[in-house]
């Protein structure tokens, strides 16, 4: 039997580095979220994606550095028997920072290769022994080949593999036959001292060189101490009876014969009986003892022909479907349960990642998700006897969740229904998690769910939540990156060191993430369209009727924010134009989709030009809000013939637009078809409104301008009231019921009645919807326009003037235009807003911060990026200067992370750190268990010129570590000696 020991220190600078399967899946997740961010312009999604990309890059350096500080020694077993598990012993030492390590090798036997794997979790400066187990070896030579020491990063994303030249071989002997018959004996003569003798245990016969397999009790340690070589004592006895182990004495197939011979050799070895072994083509003379038995067993192990090695079934490590969804069924009836603490921590991290959705989804969905996560966490505890949920129940819950969410949201493709269904499926996956692969998959799905929250909100709190969830999920991945068996021991659910490591790596990735956030190309349009915000609401609609705006006016939700480059326009000019309603049905007003000739638009002489930006909150509508008439339009926007700005892409996310607007004479040249439409009134009895028609008919003798003033005088002098809660009007003749009955209403009541009177008086009129006013934020100098600022006013067409804005609501409550809604309700004639409370002032300060966040983070787009690049003197994305600057600055942002990884690889003990630096200078790390003195001698053999200095270093280290009175002076001396060692370059 052969025994070879291999000790290796890893000094190669060329270390193969590639992602693990989990690392490839992590990269796929990053690319998937990046595509989603590009399509839906999710700025915070860009930030999270680039942050995870930075983690992916930094951990590559971590894995490579961990591989450089590893050392390995491999030892073959003394004996191996066919059919019985055997193992190669591998001792691995990590001189640097803690890291998960995988030892991979191939066991070559009889033309077949069997993969061997062992996982370890090494601490800083730790040494562990792993067993490379061969479960069922067959008879014959078995050699360990292609040994690779694979270092992983803390999260298991990367692997740096070092090929190791190891020659460890063992001869696998046949399995001894059970209940073998007695072997034949061999008679021999020559008793006494003068006769022939044979190996035995009676008399000392001399010394011979040591042979592998000799019993330690036979070694002459005295001679070994003197000469430095191992020798074995031999004994003999008079030649008498010996066993004759002959191939011809056996029958059957080759393996059966060898098995019987192995049984006889084992019995002779145990009884101390001398034996002779005769095989076809080979014969061993009579002998006894351990060495003779080892030679005989090796001859049996290497006797041709060798049996075939059965093939090993292939296994999949990652991303397979569960059995209840059609995946492969496991053949293991009782799989090893996952350790409780890591699994519970993964479920906790998943719950934190789902938290914003749990507060937003239907109550039954949130309850289902929480129940599944809690049940699986309790089931993991060893003391609890909770059965796994049956596959039929899990499949039924999938169907129920899909049907219920489709009924709630009307679709499963939108942002609400889609994310809720994803959360339910994720919780169901957690409920059936049984393997480490499944646990790692939960981390990826948790990170993906975290990115979907940006569809609903991209505020600072959402950003903080995404960072917290990422720290927890990455720490959960780190708990599964090491040896799963090591995690089975009881431990804390919250691993503080892993949380700190996860937070530090995310922090180190921030510079790269910030760089990519600023300079990564931002497209101006989506890649595809999906209904991601079908549930959004706004203060404006495709049609209006009395009472609609009165409900929405009570909402203080922000509709948009307007930031002006110069002074703010006066309150009576803050009319934010939206949809235009021209068709009156008798019950309400609707937009017209007809095609009309383009009207004229002429800037008013001397009118100011407003330069401002609008940050529009999601509303799912195509129209854009602007003052008067915009002189420039954003990309993908258009201006209708009713001077309504609209976009081809509805605002499903917070969007920022740049505007240049100027008061203008609108439609002095207008289509006659449109003017005729804007004179049309329904003739049905339920919409005749005879009293209003009669009143308006009395004005037809007046000039058009006087008819307009007559209509306004109706509201100024008619004892009308402005209120949020107007009485319900009848379905028939609503205009008459309002003008001559209730006289209490909101803006749509007044604009609707006024437009009707004007049409009845022969003046073309229509209603314009939008917002009026805006709250000035003194901390930011911008306007906050809320849903309660939703407003409707009228436009009349006058010859020579075109379309003229008329706001009948201002005739009843001037404070609605000059002040704000609250003031208009309490003091309709006020001309200034009321004094703000302390709470309102604090709210405005917070809103100013929110506006800055929206401006520089959420609304950062391709136009802002191009403007920034222009100011930096860099041409657009894709140019050589841009690419050179991007890669150069990206390399600089990674320097702190690389310095951190390099620092973590160094020992914390000052004396060991000095020895570590010595190994770096010599490019010769210490071996596992190698003393400083032995290391110095080995290094002196490779660098004879520095031998005295190396021996001084070893003596100083021993004095510092083991001396009676070590002092700081010894440490300074040790460091000084190490610095004197010349650096060595090795291939």
Identified catalytic residue from 292, 438, 628, 747: 747
Q: What angle do CA 620, 422, 318 make, to 5 degrees?
A: 140
Active site residue 37: no
Burial class (CB in 10 A: 0-12, 13-18, 19+), 316: exposed
CA 971 to chain CA centroid, Å, is: 45
| Integer Cα distance of 540 and 552 in angstroms | 9
| Integer Cα distance of 49 and 924 in angstroms | 40
Active site residue 747: yes
Burial class (CB in 10 A: 0-12, 13-18, 19+), 688: middle
CA 111 to chain CA centroid, Å, is: 43
Report the first-to-last Cα separation within the chain, whole angstroms.
35
Quickly count helices (H) and strands (E) in the chain. Answer: 28, 37
DSSP state of 195: S
| Integer Cα distance of 782 and 774 in angstroms | 9
| Integer Cα distance of 155 and 99 in angstroms | 9
Task: List, in sequence order, every residue forming a beta bridge with 623; answer none if it has no partner.
Answer: 646
Picking from 654, 655, 614, the residue whose alpha carbon sits closest to that of residue 632 is 614
| Integer Cα distance of 59 and 897 in angstroms | 9
Identified catalytic residue from 791, 820, 847, 916: 791
**How is residue 503 written in tokens?**
């937070």
C-beta of residue 845 within 8 angstroms of C-beta of residue 781: no
Kindly list the distances between the CA atom of residue 77 and the CA atoms of 86, 103, 173, 284, in Å, as whole numbers in the listed order: 7, 17, 12, 24
Half-sphere CA count of 612, side-chain side, radius 13 A: 27
DSSP state of 651: -
- Per DSSP (E only), the strands in 506-590 are 543-544, 558-564, 575-581, 583-584, 589-590
Picking from 491, 547, 153, 191, the residue whose alpha carbon sits closest to that of residue 343 is 491
| Integer Cα distance of 183 and 618 in angstroms | 93
Active site residue 807: yes
Kindly list the distances between the CA atom of residue 510 and the CA atoms of 43, 284, 516, 869, 882, in Å, as whole numbers in the listed order: 15, 72, 10, 21, 21
C-beta of residue 785 within 8 angstroms of C-beta of residue 612: no
Kindly list the distances between the CA atom of residue 345 and the CA atoms of 306, 438, 461, in Å, as whole numbers in the listed order: 50, 14, 23
**DSSP run (H or E) holding 244:** strand 242-246
Identified catalytic residue from 807, 820, 847, 916: 807
**How is residue 363 written in tokens?**
């109550």
Q: What angle do CA 898, 104, 485 make, to 5 degrees?
A: 85
- Per DSSP (E only), the strands in 503-636 are 543-544, 558-564, 575-581, 583-584, 589-590, 601-603, 610-616, 626-627, 629-632
- Please identify every residue annotated as catalytic: 747, 791, 807
């Amino acid at each position: 039997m052969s025994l070879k020991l291999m000790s290796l220190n890893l000094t190669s600078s060329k270390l193969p580095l590639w992602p693990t399967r989990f690392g490839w899946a992590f990269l796929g997740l990053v690319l998937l979220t990046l595509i989603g961010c590009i399509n839906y312009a999710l700025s915070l999604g860009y930030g999270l994606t680039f942050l995870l990309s930075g983690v992916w890059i930094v951990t590559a350096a971590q894995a490579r550095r961990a591989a450089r500080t590893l050392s390995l020694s491999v030892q073959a077993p003394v004996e191996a028997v066919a059919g019985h598990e055997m193992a190669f012993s591998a001792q691995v030492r990590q001189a640097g920072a803690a890291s998960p390590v995988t030892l991979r090798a191939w066991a070559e036997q009889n033309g077949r290769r069997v993969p061997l794997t062992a996982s370890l979790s090494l601490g800083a400066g730790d040494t562990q022994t792993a067993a490379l187990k061969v479960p069922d070896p067959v008879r014959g030579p078995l050699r360990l080949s292609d040994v690779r020491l694979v270092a992983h990063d803390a999260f298991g994303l990367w692997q740096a593999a070092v090929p190791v030249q190891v020659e460890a071989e063992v001869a696998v002997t046949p399995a001894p036959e059970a209940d073998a018959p007695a072997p034949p004996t061999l008679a021999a003569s020559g008793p006494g001292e003068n006769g022939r003798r044979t190996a035995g245990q009676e008399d000392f016969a001399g010394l011979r060189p040591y042979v592998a397999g000799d019993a330690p009790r036979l070694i002459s340690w005295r001679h070994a101490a003197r000469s430095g070589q191992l020798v074995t004592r031999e004994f003999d006895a008079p030649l008498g009876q010996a066993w004759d182990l002959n191939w011809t004495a056996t029958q059957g197939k080759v393996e059966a014969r060898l098995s019987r011979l192995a049984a006889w050799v084992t019995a002779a070895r145990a009884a101390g009986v001398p034996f002779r072994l005769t095989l076809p083509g080979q014969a061993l003379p009579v002998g006894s003892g351990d060495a003779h038995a080892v030679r005989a067993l090796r001859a049996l192990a290497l006797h041709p022909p060798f049996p075939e090695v059965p093939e090993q079934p292939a296994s999949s490590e990652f991303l397979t479907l569960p059995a209840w969804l059609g995946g492969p069924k496991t053949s293991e009836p009782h799989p090893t349960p996952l350790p409780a603490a890591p699994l519970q921590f993964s479920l906790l991290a998943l719950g934190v990642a789902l938290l914003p959705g749990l507060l937003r989804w239907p109550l039954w969905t949130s309850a289902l998700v929480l129940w599944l996560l809690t049940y699986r966490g309790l089931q993991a505890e060893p003391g609890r006897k909770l059965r796994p949920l049956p596959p039929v129940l899990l499949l039924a819950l999938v169907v129920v969740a899909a049907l219920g969410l489709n009924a709630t949201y009307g679709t499963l493709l939108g942002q609400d229904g889609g994310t809720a269904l994803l959360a339910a499926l994720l919780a169901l996956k957690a409920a059936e998690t049984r393997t480490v692969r499944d646990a790692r998959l939960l981390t990826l799905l948790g990170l993906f769910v975290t990115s979907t929250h940006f569809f609903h909100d991209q505020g600072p709190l959402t950003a903080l939540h995404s960072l917290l969830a990422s720290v927890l999920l990455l720490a959960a991945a780190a708990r599964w990156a090491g040896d799963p068996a090591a995690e089975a021991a009881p431990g804390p659910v919250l691993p503080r060191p892993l949380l700190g490591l996860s937070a530090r790596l995310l922090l180190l990735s921030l510079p790269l993430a910030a760089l990519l956030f600023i300079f990564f190309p931002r497209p101006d349009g989506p890649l595809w369209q999906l209904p991601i915000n079908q549930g959004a609401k706004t203060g404006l609609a495709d049609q209006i009727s009395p009472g609609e705006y009165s409900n929405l006016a009570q909402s203080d939700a922000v509709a948009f924010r307007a930031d002006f480059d110069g002074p703010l326009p006066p309150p009576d000019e803050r009319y934010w134009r939206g949809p235009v309603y021209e068709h009156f049905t008798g019950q309400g007003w609707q937009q017209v989709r007809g095609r009309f000739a383009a009207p004229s638009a002429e800037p008013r002489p001397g009118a100011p030009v407003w330069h401002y930006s609008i940050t529009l909150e999601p509303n799912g509508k195509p129209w854009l809000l602007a003052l008067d008439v915009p002189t420039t339009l954003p990309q993908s926007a258009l201006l209708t013939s009713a001077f309504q700005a609209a976009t081809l892409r509805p605002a499903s996310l917070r969007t920022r637009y740049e505007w240049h607007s100027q008061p203008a004479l609108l439609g002095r040249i207008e289509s006659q078809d449109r003017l005729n439409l804007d004179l049309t009134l329904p003739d049905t009895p339920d919409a005749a409104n005879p009293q209003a028609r009669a009143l308006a008919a009395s004005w037809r003798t007046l000039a058009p301008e006087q008819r307009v003033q007559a209509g306004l005088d109706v509201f100024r002098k008619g004892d009308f009231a402005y209120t949020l809660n107007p009485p319900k009007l009848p379905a028939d003749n609503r205009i008459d019921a309002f003008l001559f009955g209730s006289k209490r209403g909101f803006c749509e009541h007044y604009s609707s009645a006024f437009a009707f009177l004007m049409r009845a008086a022969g003046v073309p009129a229509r209603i314009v919807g939008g917002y009026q006013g805006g709250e000035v934020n003194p901390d930011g100098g911008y306007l906050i326009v809320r849903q309660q600022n939703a407003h409707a006013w009228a436009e009349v067409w006058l010859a020579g003037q075109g379309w003229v804005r008329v706001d009948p609501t201002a005739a009843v409550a001037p404070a609605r235009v000059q002040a704000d809604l609250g003031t208009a309700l309490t003091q309709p004639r006020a001309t200034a807003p009321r004094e703000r409370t302390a709470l309102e002032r604090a709210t405005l300060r917070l809103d100013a911060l929110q506006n800055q966040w929206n401006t520089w983070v959420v609304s950062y787009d391709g136009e802002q990026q191009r403007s920034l690049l222009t100011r930096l003197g860099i041409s657009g994305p894709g140019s050589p200067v841009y690419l050179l600057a991007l890669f150069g600055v990206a390399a600089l942002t990674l320097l702190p992370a690389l310095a951190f990884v390099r620092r973590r690889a160094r020992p914390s003990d000052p004396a060991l750190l000095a020895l570590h630096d010595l190994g770096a200078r010599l490019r010769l790390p210490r071996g596992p268990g190698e003393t400083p003195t032995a290391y110095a001698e080995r290094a002196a053999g490779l660098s004879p010129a520095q031998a005295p200095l190396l021996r001084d270093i070893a003596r100083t280290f021993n004095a510092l570590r083991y001396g009676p009175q070590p002092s700081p002076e010894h440490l300074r001396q040790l460091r000084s000696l190490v610095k004197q060692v010349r650096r060595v370059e090795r291939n």
